[in-house]
Chain A
Amino acid sequence: MRRFFGSSVTKKLVMALAGLFLIAFLIVHLTINLFLLSDDPDPFNKAAHFMASNPLIKIFEVVLMGGFLIHIIWGVILQIQNWIARPKRYKVTYPSQTSFFSKYMIYLGIIILIFLFLHFLNFYFVKLGLVEGDHENFYEMVYDLFKIPLYLIIYLVSFIILAFHLHHGFQSAFQTFGINHKKYTPVIKAIGLIYSLVVPAGFSIIPIIIYFFK
């Protein structure tokens, strides 16, 4: 197994590369989502249609799914190995002054995965035609969903969780790449913090506006 998944350093590198790739994708996704705030459904629907039909995007989609799968599979493998490395747990543990969320990445990740599944069920699978739904009018579908309070809450909580996940993940990826510098690491950490606040906040603000103001 070690041979296939690589050494501990290689595994980390794979996780970090896939993670950063997904981080970059989030910006694309957010950009499209922002069209939802327009009162005109057209721009969003067009963007969604473009994403669904463009052949280049089709290829990218496979890569993206690969990114998700690799990040998930390698993450699970790492975690299992890490659990095996400490068969007997401590009775008392103290939260050291460390990157707090780093200790819960797997749990945060699992919650995000669950949300992702829900998200796929509602949108992506519709697009693929696996699940019933009007894939010509995503705009309306989104508006309908965001009017459901429970869905709204699940959505918002998921993005808070994502923020935590990103907060550690972003700067951690650079450490894994071997970038750790007296001057630049604080800058990377700051960017990571801003990113992990702004992007989830951007995603979250959309349903809030829709729910309360539209």
Chain B
Amino acid sequence: MNIKLKIWRQKNAESKGAFVKYDFDGVSPEMSFLEMLDALNKKLIEEGDEPVAFDHDCREGICGTCGMYINGRPHGSVQGITTCHLSMRKFKNRATIYVEPWRAKPFPVIKDLIVDRSAFDKIMTAGGFISTNVGSAPDAHAIPVVKEKADIAFDSTICIGCGACVAACKNASAMLFLSAKVSQYALLPQGRVEAKERVQAMVLKMDELGFGNCTNTGACEAECPKNISLSNIARMNREFYKAKIT
């Protein structure tokens, strides 16, 4: 296969950056997108050029490290997968592929396709936890949890923190990410104790970090590799009002 790549290259956070074109012949349809980039990098290094820097780790769709904007979509055209699972079979021979880093003010580019997502950690640090110390927990069966609620809570916990929601959102909003965490704790009795403080602190932190405002476009849900539902955002809104009113 031959692929025409247009990849965003940027030496460091300060430099300007531009698209660089690569006409790449050594593509096999069996490769994943990241393996294709590995192959491109090998070629670049052997030819004396600098390889394309990109974040990646587990390569099985669970760590959330990889993520690039491929032809206008986070993680590429296939729904429900991360970039590492995107297969080159999904591209036509001689296709042109634009590869861009996540773009958002709170996610500055570090180099090429690597962005700094530490803003997500800051949101979590603001309240994404239950305050319980090691050794102080009651028996795991002390508090039963309604199965239905536990299952919904589970569905919101599978977020991998990749940032595709922010990347996809036209407003660069982190609402889906934040709401998934708020939802998990809102649904579990263990998390209810601090529900009020949590949602307020996390929203405040998100705003402070410069993420955009949610306008319910639903792009985040459509592009989330783990299919996290918009209903989490609605739940977070409820939690927020509840916290403010009561």
Contact = CB atoms under 8 A, between A and B. Distances in A.
Interface of A: 2, 7-13, 78, 81-82, 84-94, 96-99, 102-103, 105, 168, 171-172, 175-181, 185
A178 B238 contact: yes
B223 A96 contact: yes
Given A82-B170, A84-B105, A85-B104, A94 B72 contact: yes
Given A105-B215, A175-B230, 10 more contacts: A8-B175, A8-B207, A12-B214, A82-B213, A85-B172, A85-B212, A86-B172, A92-B71, A172-B216, A180-B235
Contacts of A179: 234
29 contacts: A7-B203, A7-B207, A8-B173, A8-B214, A9-B203, A11-B213, A13-B237, A13-B241, A78-B213, A82-B172, A82-B213, A85-B104, A85-B172, A86-B170, A86-B171, A91-B100, A94-B72, A96-B218, A96-B219, A96-B222, A98-B217, A172-B215, A175-B216, A175-B230, A175-B234, A178-B234, A178-B241, A179-B234, A180-B233
B185 interface: no
Interface string B46-65: 00000000000000000000
A2 to B, nearest CB: 6
A177 B237 contact: yes
B218 to A, nearest CB: 4
Contacts of A93: 72
Contact of B98 (A10, A78, A92, A97): A92
Of listed B203, B215, B241, residue having the most chain A CB within 10 A: B215
B210 A84 contact: yes
B19 interface: yes
Contact of A86 (B104, B213, B235, B244): B104
Interface residues of B, number: 49
Contact of B103 (A13, A81, A88, A178): A88
Nearest to B231: A180
B69 interface: yes
B172 A180 contact: no
Contacts of B72: 90, 92-94
Contacts of B236: 9, 178
A99 B218 contact: yes
B177 interface: no
Contact of B218 (A13, A82, A98): A98
Given A96-B222, A178-B237, A12 B213 contact: yes
Interface in B188-246: 203-204, 206-208, 210-219, 221-223, 230-231, 233-238, 240-241, 244
A91 B222 CA distance: 20
B85 interface: no
Contacts of A89: 103
B27 interface: no
